Structure 1
């Protein structure tokens, strides 16, 4: 990457973001083994990209282990690719596998990029960890070139509702990550100064043989409970038994359901 592309902005220093970065850094080695939903959602987002414009430079925002950076590199072999993530551990895992030409640690709410330097910003299942989505959209608008595309997926409220309801039957603590509402996404996207081509929420349901497998997958993804004010310490056996019993009430023939409310958005910067 040239000096003209990177700005001199320092990364934001927020405790909650450090915690998110640390959690996903620890999960770098296990993430790909349990990322079936992430692959499915990311591929659906790729299929929604407009086919009429070939980017000169793309940004994989929240690139994680670099899986979709490699897909983007294959799709746009002549383009300059940038993988950006807040978790340095993820970038260390991704660099040896190639794909992007540049790997940068950065915050989506304060992108370390110059104005008007990117044609395509692709971000799948990363921006739900950003508290200030309005700032994300402002930064996206700033760094996109005229005619540039912003394609993203994120998670909405109602995600893992089965697990949330089961915990609610056990105690009053926040054991499941909270996400913004569909209405909040709609309001922010419509008022951000970018053209809104499409915005759709689709439920994606995974099934697990038991609760242990679900919680193992969340931990392997680095997506276990990151809420401020979450309960500290180990969860007692009696509470776990109560949780298992409550979750069994949701069982289907396919197994225990875990529903993810996924929002798909395509925005563009006017030429």
Structure 2
């Protein structure tokens, strides 16, 4: 079952409609290149309080539903909800199961009753939300007393090698922007939720060449979504200049792509 919602209000960066469309298009290819997403989500699962036994959980930004199925296995007695802003992801996830309900919705305006969930789990989705304070406020509203909000997101420093290489070529916006870790700290502290843990960890992937990296970003739906990005195709001369600039970063394992991952676990107090 899918609940259709009115189009969410568009505010800030990035454009939610562009994010939804990009990830909908990537639904079929996403799982084939989601190494980082699997690693980060598994780490977030391991950070859940051991004593947590929710009667209902929400996979917020469920994507293809990989972690909806993992949550269903971990909490077999609980009702599962899977929510995503991208209809294409929901269409891909629904036949694979894991959740009782698949809901089209926006993390900044959750279509759920107050105090209705014991766990909100969100892995690598909230970096696309411009108003993280609204995400936290909605999590606090929807959590039951004692409920947990666990998220993994990205902060400044993510894909820095690619950003620096493009900067050397033309100075235009080719890489998605992310909020500072200090902003996560400030907003979580002001959320009214009890902060159990908040930390940043670097995850480095390696690629044989630039083309493989950009192909993976496109297959994930996570290529450049920012206003100010250059339009049209990248010219051959600029592409060769990018390759030359990125090659200066090469390590024995290949070309590095660093992701600065933020892990947060918060609780609504009793």
- TM tier relative to shorter chain: over 0.9
Determine the C-alpha separation between the residues in 2 that align with 1:133 and 1:224. 21
Q: How many residues align?
A: 266
**2:185 pairs with 1:186:** yes
| Alpha-carbon distance, 1:13 to partner | 3.5
Query: Alpha-carbon deviations, 1:138-174, whole Å to 9, x = none?
Result: 0000000000000000000010000000000001210
How do residues 160-239 of structure 1 correspond to structure 2 at under 5 angstroms? 160-239=159-238
TM-score where L is the length of structure 2: 0.97
Determine the C-alpha separation between the residues in 2 that align with 1:234 and 1:214. 17
| Alpha-carbon distance, 1:10 to partner | 4.2
Unaligned runs of 5+ in 2: none
| Counterpart residue number, 2:64 | 65
Determine the C-alpha separation between the residues in 2 that align with 1:53 and 1:254. 39
Secondary structure class of the residue paired with 1:265:
strand
| Alpha-carbon distance, 1:105 to partner | 0.3
| Alpha-carbon distance, 1:53 to partner | 2.0
Q: Contact 2:5–2:105 (CA<8 Å) still a contact in 1?
A: no
Q: Contact 1:27–1:220 (CA<8 Å) still a contact in 2?
A: yes
Determine the C-alpha separation between the residues in 1 that align with 2:166 and 2:88. 31
Secondary structure class of the residue paired with 1:89:
helix
CA RMSD of superposed structures (Å): 1.3
| Counterpart residue number, 1:50 | 49
Determine the C-alpha separation between the residues in 1 that align with 2:62 and 2:5. 20
| Alpha-carbon distance, 1:200 to partner | 0.5
Determine the C-alpha separation between the residues in 1 that align with 2:240 and 2:230. 17
Determine the C-alpha separation between the residues in 2 that align with 1:203 and 1:142. 31
Q: Contact 1:11–1:110 (CA<8 Å) still a contact in 2?
A: no
| Counterpart residue number, 1:248 | 247
Runs of 4+ in 1 over 6 A off after TM superposition: none
Secondary structure class of the residue paired with 1:65:
coil
| Counterpart residue number, 1:96 | 95
Unaligned runs of 5+ in 1: none
Determine the C-alpha separation between the residues in 2 that align with 1:54 and 1:139. 21
Secondary structure class of the residue paired with 1:169:
helix
| Counterpart residue number, 1:115 | 114
| Counterpart residue number, 2:8 | 12
Query: Alpha-carbon deviations, 1:60-106, whole Å to 9, x = none?
Result: 00000000000000111110000000000000000000000000000
